[in-house]
Structure 1
Amino acid sequence: MCGITGFIRRCAPSADTATLRRMGASIIHRGPDAGGEYLDRWVGLGHRRLSIIDLSPLGNQPMQSLDGRYVIVFNGEIYNFRALRNELKAEGCQFRSRTDTEVILALYRREGAACLNRLNGMFAFAIWDRDDKTLFLARDRIGKKPLYYYHGGGDRLAFASEIKALLQLPGIPRDPDPTAVADFLTYLYIPAPKTIFRAIHKLPPGHCLELRLGSGPVVSRYWDVDFSTTTAPLHQDEAAERLLELIAGSTASRMMADVPLGAFLSGGLDSSAIVALMAGSSGTPVTTCSIGFTDRQHDESVYAREVARCFSTNHAEYTLEEQLADTVTLLPRYFDEPFADSSAVPTFHVSRLARKVVTVALAGDGGDENFGGYDKYVVDLKEDLARRVIPRLFLKTLHAVAGRCSGTLMRKAATLASGALADPGRAFFRTNSFIDDASLRRLLAPGLATACRGYDPALHTLDAWERTRGADHLTSMLYTDLKTYLPGDILVKVDRMSMAHSLEVRAPLLDYRVVEFAASLPSRLKIHRGSKKYLLKRAFSAQLPPGIVNRRKHGFTVPLARWFRQDLRELAQRHLLEQRELAEFFDPGEVGRLWQEHQHGRADHGTLLWSLLSFSLWQQEYLQV
């Protein structure tokens, strides 16, 4: 795991080796073990290394091919690199190191951009072709590793693993994109290809970018999740067996490391399944780490301890209760743009805990998006059933009547009717969003609201949804989350919070072969009679205690409502009510109203207040410089 940076020299004519070093220094947490730079008259490349495979200096980057034609900077891990290396050696290729980096170079030399189809891993890399004067950038299929770029027109381009490295270049504008602010409040993150900065973009997962000197960049997709190809009919036991084989193989390949390795353990199905497989193939006890809360409603540590005992792991826990404000103020410097998934806080601490004993940790990310694990999927399936079988006139009447009544049951009926009346893609957007249109308009400052007039944040969701036209409802939901929420929120959170502590995190459930197999399965094997992750549970029924396999999903949540009334009250009041610069983006009267309603218990605005606090802290870190 590393950090990469680079630029075409026309992008910043005054940039030199010292500039590359500054860019690298800004992301040294991604690679504290070594750093290097490459500079010629056309391009500059920089690298920070976290040594995982082949710890010798032979693995340092930027790395040149044996013939000197190609230069690479690479972030990530290629899990099938040894098989590829043996194949290439059989064809006469020679290697100086034991690294996957050198394998990418050799494969690119032979196959060009088509090499991406051969790589199984998480990666973001740049290759400079000194002969053709071509820069090639690529990001892994799922979006585990980040890659940002600035394009100043023509062939003026710069790239980096994190935005902060790009901001080290002279002349990079910091103008915020008003529509990205609307996206942020809607989703709690900013979907690709946007960033908060108008001039900086995310290279989407499964995409590559090629730039030849004298021409502009060309971005193209090389992979997508294909739900249209179904497997040959399998009995569910056969499907479960095949799934277990795939996940066992992906877990084993991710245990490859020349440094200490462990796992995150929440006590839920996904992380417990990974720990079970690790314990079964490891000759020594697995190191596991988890986070606990003093608030029992949000605490899962008792389940993590149960799994740890079951597999005799070396288990460590951290209870999140002290210095909360100190952690919260740190987060923006790692995310570089507004990001409001509050589970970043426990992820930060479990990563810090893990880094004390390991350099690599395996995690259970991807189970929910691949196999239908979120409660929202079950709710939306009920809405879709109502949409298909209940006459619209009746739904309209139910919505009107229930909307005027109090009580939990009537509120649920009104919500169900509202969702069933909406277009399916638009209804799923509402499920995945955290603010409605009217509230968004009230909250935005007048100038920002004017700039966003006519803009619809739902387009990010609807664009993905439309690519599944003709598919069943669950398939559309899973595809949309795999293309938006997973890479935009979950994977960003895990990457930034782990790399803040120079910890590499690997996700076996996001092996592209597992993703493709899951996509090929019928939806009835994902959610079956209301049971979520049906096939995944069946696959691990013999490996895990029934109480872990069948327990209700908890979710990695934090007690936001209490935090804003107690632990974070002083910090939030200072940033939301006393910082005048925030009024450039948000209406002070509306912010004050939300704050007062929350403090007096008239409403729970915890998520929205967290979004505003995250934005204010980011604004202080990146705009007030």
Structure 2
Amino acid sequence: MCGIAGILCHEPEKTPERSLLAVMGAALAHRGPDQSNEYAAPGIGLAHRRLSIIDLQGGRQPMRSDDGRWVLSYNGEIYNFGEIRAELERGGVRFADHSDTEVLLQAWRAWGPACLDRFIGMFAFALWDGARRELHLVRDRLGIKPLYYGRTRHGDWVFGSELKALLVHPQMPRDIDPAAVEDYLAFGYVPDPRSILLAVQSLPPGHRLRLRGGDDRPTLHRWWDVDPTARSAGDESQWIGALRDHLDDAVRLRMVADVPLGAFLSGGVDSSTVVALMSRAHAEPVRTCAIGFDDPAFDETRYAGQVAHRFGTDHEEQRVHPDGETLFRRLARIYDAPFADSSAMPTLAVCELARRRVTVALSGDGGDEVLAGYRRYLWHLRESRLRERVPLSLRRKLFGPLGAVYPKADWAPRPLRAKTTLQALARDTVEAYFHTVSAIPAGIRDRLRSARLRAALQGYSALEVFRTHAGSAGTDDPLRLAQYLDFKTWLPGGILTKVDRASMAHSLEVRVPLLDHRFVAWGMSLPEAAKIRRGEGKYVLKRAMEPDLPRDILYRSKQGFSVPLREWFRGPLAPAFEAVLGDSALLGTGWFERDALAGLLREHRSGVADHGRVLWSLLMLDASLEHLQSLPTFDAAA
């Protein structure tokens, strides 16, 4: 795993300064502490930081082809590189080392962009074609690895694995995008293709971009997308057999490494499945790790220990005490863009624990998206069936007013929290799911916006993100559509961003077998009955794993990986939010109403409402804005 960065000059004859490239690479040193190097030539500069995983002596980057035409800077892993290498060798290609980097380079030389369809893996890379003088930026199918690009004031294109690498460039504007702020308030992260900065975009998953120096019109091409319209036949026994075959292969491929390898083990279905399959594929005990909390409502270590004992893993646990008072600023430095998922804190802790013993860890991320494991899918299905029976116009008249007056009972069990359900029933399917997943409810977002932000947005709403993706889905099936929307937003912007930044902060590579694109495509093609049955999500996965895992692992209620925000903002984090009400980056934008911010904290502390998640989102936004403006830029004279 690595960090990449670079510059494509507006003037083709200009050579980027190697010292600037080195500083851009240094900003990503945590992603690749083992090696660093730069390449500079007229019109182009590439920087690379390497975390050595495969062929520890070879694979040095940026890598040049033997004819000098191609130069590659690459972040990721191609798990089937051995198979591709063998095919290239049969065609006469000779290799200088044993790395997947050279396989990628030679595959592009042989097949061009069509080589991407052959790759099984996670990757983001920059490939310079010196003959045509064009730069190709490519991101993997599901967005496991990040890649940002933007334009400087002088017209140069700049790119990198994280925003901090781009902001080293002294000509990179740092203006905040108000539409990205609106997106963040709604989702809790900034979904692709936006970044928090006006001048920078995130390359969407499954896309490649072709850039030429001096060209204002880059060519963006989608080379892969999950297909929510695909349908697979079969019965339950066939589904179970196919699932085991897919996951056995996906796990086996991801266990190839020249460095120590292990797994995260939370005690949930997905991580337990991965550990079970790893144990079957590996003669030696699998190294596993888990973190625990003092609060039993958030602690799953007894379940993790149960799985570890069953498979005889080399297991390590550690109890952590997340300190929100100091962690929120650390998270802002790690994530650059605002990121509101508080589970980033325990994720950071488990990555730190894992890195003490391994360089590569397998995780269970992706199972909920592929096989409909989230509880919200079940609620969305039930609401959708009711929506189908009552016309939208009538639902708006009936459920809209009821949702407006029904009290917001945060303290009550889910079945009694009818306000959200009533509001969802008054909407169409896309708007209802947007309402379900929103980090900050629409009413609070409206309350927070100042007249200045409303004017800057010019009528824009974050709902347009869902509307755009829904228009490409090709289906109105409520479950398939909800899964597709999550694959386009929540998975890359939330789950995978969280894990990538937390793991790379500790120079740890995380591999996600449940997001093998072949398994994803197969999982999406399954009928609803294979995913949700009798109120249980991930039905076929649980049935398939019954011979390996105890029922109380497979069928217990989903717990999640969260922290007690409600209590924190009635205690140690309240002063931090009070500071936001003073001279803060958040209020400095002029986009938020101070009285509304103060009112939220007052209501939360008094117990009238639970605004813990909202307050955390706003605190993280303030810390991130402050961080982005304070990042140092390159000074050639220094």
Same fold flag (TM > 0.5): yes
> Aligned in 2, Cα 1:512/1:588: closer, same or farther, shift over 3 Å?
same
How do 1:377-526 residues align onto structure 2 when only pairs under 5 Å count? 377-390=377-390, 393=394, 396-397=397-398, 400=401, 404=405, 412-526=417-531
Match of 1:614 in 2: 620
Match of 1:543 in 2: 548
Query: 1:462 offset after TM fit, Å?
Result: 1.7
The answer to whether the 8 Å contact 2:398/2:426 transfers is no
Q: Of residues 549, 563, 569 in structure 2, which corresponds to 1:564?
A: 569
Distance between the aligned counterparts of 2:502 and 2:75, measured in 1? 16
Percent sequence identity over aligned pairs: 45
Please state whether the residue corresponding to 2:255 is helix, strand or coil: coil
The answer to whether the 8 Å contact 2:399/2:426 transfers is no
The answer to whether the 8 Å contact 2:291/2:350 transfers is yes
Write out per-residue CA displacement over residues 367-393 of structure 1, whole angstroms, 9 at most, x where no aligned residue. 000000011111111111111234664
Write out per-residue CA displacement over residues 141-186 of structure 1, whole angstroms, 9 at most, x where no aligned residue. 0000000001359973111001110111121000000111111111
The answer to whether the 8 Å contact 1:441/1:449 transfers is no
Residue identity matched to 2:423: S
Question: What TM-score do the two structures reach when normalised by structure 2?
Answer: 0.94
Distance between the aligned counterparts of 2:302 and 2:340, measured in 1? 27
The answer to whether the 8 Å contact 1:403/1:411 transfers is no
Residue identity matched to 2:463: A
Segment of structure 1 superposing worse, 581-590 or 144-153: 581-590
Gaps (5+ residues) in structure 2? 632-638
Query: 1:353 offset after TM fit, Å?
Result: 0.5
Query: 1:395 offset after TM fit, Å?
Result: 8.0
Match of 2:634 in 1: none
Match of 2:248 in 1: 248
> Aligned in 2, Cα 1:11/1:349: closer, same or farther, shift over 3 Å?
farther
The answer to whether the 8 Å contact 1:206/1:224 transfers is yes
Distance between the aligned counterparts of 1:401 and 1:462, measured in 2? 25
The answer to whether the 8 Å contact 1:264/1:288 transfers is yes
Write out per-residue CA displacement over residues 116-165 of structure 1, whole angstroms, 9 at most, x where no aligned residue. 11111000001111111111110000000000001359973111001110
Segment of structure 1 superposing worse, 414-423 or 91-100: 414-423
Residue identity matched to 1:468: A
- Is 1:601 the equivalent of 2:602? no
Residue identity matched to 1:218: T
Residue identity matched to 1:360: V
Segment of structure 1 superposing worse, 203-212 or 462-471: 462-471
Please state whether the residue corresponding to 1:101 is helix, strand or coil: helix
Distance between the aligned counterparts of 1:588 and 1:402, measured in 2? 27
Please state whether the residue corresponding to 1:72 is helix, strand or coil: strand
Query: 1:363 offset after TM fit, Å?
Result: 0.2
> Aligned in 2, Cα 1:153/1:515: closer, same or farther, shift over 3 Å?
farther
Residue identity matched to 2:34: D
Match of 2:226 in 1: 225
Distance between the aligned counterparts of 2:460 and 2:399, measured in 1? 31
Residue identity matched to 1:317: E
Write out per-residue CA displacement over residues 345-380 of structure 1, whole angstroms, 9 at most, x where no aligned residue. 000000000001100000001000000001111111
Write out per-residue CA displacement over residues 279-309 of structure 1, whole angstroms, 9 at most, x where no aligned residue. 1111111111112111111111111111111
Match of 2:372 in 1: 372
> Aligned in 2, Cα 1:623/1:88: closer, same or farther, shift over 3 Å?
same
How do 1:53-452 residues align onto structure 2 when only pairs under 5 Å count? 53-56=54-57, 58-152=58-152, 156-215=156-215, 216-231=217-232, 233-321=233-321, 323-390=323-390, 393=394, 396-397=397-398, 400=401, 404=405, 412-452=417-457
The answer to whether the 8 Å contact 2:531/2:537 transfers is yes
Segment of structure 1 superposing worse, 557-566 or 175-184: 557-566
Distance between the aligned counterparts of 2:201 and 2:462, measured in 1? 17
> Aligned in 2, Cα 1:143/1:410: closer, same or farther, shift over 3 Å?
closer
Residue identity matched to 2:340: A
Please state whether the residue corresponding to 2:180 is helix, strand or coil: helix
Please state whether the residue corresponding to 1:387 is helix, strand or coil: helix
The answer to whether the 8 Å contact 2:6/2:47 transfers is yes
Please state whether the residue corresponding to 1:191 is helix, strand or coil: coil
Please state whether the residue corresponding to 1:262 is helix, strand or coil: strand
Query: 1:453 offset after TM fit, Å?
Result: 3.3
Residue identity matched to 2:628: Y
The answer to whether the 8 Å contact 2:143/2:205 transfers is yes
Distance between the aligned counterparts of 1:363 and 1:356, measured in 2? 17
> Aligned in 2, Cα 1:507/1:405: closer, same or farther, shift over 3 Å?
closer
> Aligned in 2, Cα 1:178/1:404: closer, same or farther, shift over 3 Å?
closer
Residue identity matched to 1:33: D
Query: 1:596 offset after TM fit, Å?
Result: 1.3
The answer to whether the 8 Å contact 2:29/2:49 transfers is yes
Distance between the aligned counterparts of 1:623 and 1:218, measured in 2? 30
- Is 1:35 the equivalent of 2:36? yes
Query: 1:548 offset after TM fit, Å?
Result: 0.7
Residue identity matched to 1:610: W
Question: What TM-score do the two structures reach when normalised by structure 1?
Answer: 0.96
Write out per-residue CA displacement over residues 26-49 of structure 1, whole angstroms, 9 at most, x where no aligned residue. 110000000000000110000000
Distance between the aligned counterparts of 1:604 and 1:11, measured in 2? 55
Distance between the aligned counterparts of 1:414 and 1:397, measured in 2? 13
The answer to whether the 8 Å contact 2:585/2:626 transfers is no
Write out per-residue CA displacement over residues 82-132 of structure 1, whole angstroms, 9 at most, x where no aligned residue. 000011111111111110000010000011111111111000001111111
Query: 1:10 offset after TM fit, Å?
Result: 2.5
The answer to whether the 8 Å contact 1:155/1:214 transfers is yes
Residue identity matched to 1:16: E
Gaps (5+ residues) in structure 1? none
Distance between the aligned counterparts of 1:327 and 1:54, measured in 2? 36
Segment of structure 1 superposing worse, 328-337 or 462-471: 462-471
Q: Report the RMSD for the aligned CA atoms in angstroms.
A: 2.1
Query: 1:410 offset after TM fit, Å?
Result: 8.8
Residue identity matched to 1:499: M
Please state whether the residue corresponding to 1:18 is helix, strand or coil: helix
> Aligned in 2, Cα 1:153/1:107: closer, same or farther, shift over 3 Å?
farther
Query: 1:438 offset after TM fit, Å?
Result: 3.7
Please state whether the residue corresponding to 1:623 is helix, strand or coil: helix
The answer to whether the 8 Å contact 2:228/2:474 transfers is no
The answer to whether the 8 Å contact 1:27/1:48 transfers is yes
Residue identity matched to 1:298: F
Residue identity matched to 1:426: E
Residue identity matched to 1:278: M
Please state whether the residue corresponding to 1:150 is helix, strand or coil: strand
Residue identity matched to 2:553: I
Query: 1:577 offset after TM fit, Å?
Result: 4.4
The answer to whether the 8 Å contact 1:155/1:211 transfers is no
- Aligned residue pairs total 623
Distance between the aligned counterparts of 1:318 and 1:441, measured in 2? 42
Distance between the aligned counterparts of 2:310 and 2:240, measured in 1? 22
Query: 1:465 offset after TM fit, Å?
Result: 2.0
